[in-house]
Structure 1
Amino acid sequence: MDRNLGDGLYISDEQVQNFRKINTNPQGSTVENINYSIILSIDIDANGIAWLGTSHGGVLILYPNKGFNFATTTPSETLSDRNITAFLISQNGHSYKGTLTEGLYSNRLGKSYQIEKAIDRAKVHTLYEYRDYLFIGTGLGLYIAKNGNVDQARHYLPDQKKSQQSWSIPKSDFGWERSSQA
């Protein structure tokens, strides 16, 4: 799968030679619906189900050989169904949804999505999991949570535009090393 901002979703053949556009309108209409054509994030779970974050249509779920459906919210949830900029299903099965302006939501404390209060309410650009670490890239810095404990996430680079500091991650032990540029 490839994402192309504003132009929809395309899937390739096994040789990655030919691409065809996928209709991302969950209603099945042949009419192009801009709400579902801007794909901001893609995550494929262990069952081969693709979870697509769209700019104005919330999260779409693509079931193999069955088509699309909405990832819906219940009335008790506080998560807006719009502007999902990043989506991740963690190794332990928890789902994380990053939004354009409202920060990060997850279902790690139960079945419904709740806001992660330890993460500033800002645009979530990316979510990434590496070993026991969850990386949350936001407009207000980088957050790193160990073992899925978002409540204890460490905040890095909050003032990067003002700072001359750089950070690196040593490959040997995944520890943190701070250096200053001259």
Structure 2
Amino acid sequence: MAHTDTADRTAAEAVVAHHAELADTLDGYARALLQAAERDDAPRLWQHREALVTWLHGELLPHAYAEEAALYPVAAARPAGRLLVEGMQAEHAAIGGLVHEVENAATAVALAAAARALAAVFAVHLIKENELVVPLLVEASDVSLAGLLDGMHDLIGAPSAGGGECGGCGCGAAQDPRSRDRSTVGS
């Protein structure tokens, strides 16, 4: 795909919109867990955790893997991006650690705290992606953000043109996210 300002702006808007959806969903889970913990509603608390863990492994972590595969190497190759990407990868590792805490929390307090921490770290992480990484790539005349994202449905929240499962975009959505050792997420 040829580099066009319009295509890249549209791609950037799609990434930012998908980030907002991910953050809203994660915030909703964190609120639901906190409310269940405050009401001492153990059955609902553990149901919410199960739903959150399923969502984390089905949506959030594949999104992070896709970013690491599609965006981070290109951004890191730019002089202004290397240290930024190293920091973003460290945040992915922190996010992975908090996912592990959510999965393994044994008490309502530990679970609610881990979910709230995960939402907070993720929110700060998204600000950097939206305001630093994405603009870095959009402003690069030799990079097509739209081209980088072509088929990367985990980044923009839409399935590939063929619909359904991943159409060979390379994001690995059909794989078990925990089996990807090339990623820093969950390290």
Q: Which TM-score bucket, shorter chain as reference?
A: under 0.3
TM-score normalised by length of structure 2: 0.22
Whose RCO is larger (CA < 8 A, sep 6+)? 2
**Greater helix proportion:** 2
Q: Choose 1 or 2 for highest CA Rg.
A: 1
TM-score normalised by length of structure 1: 0.22
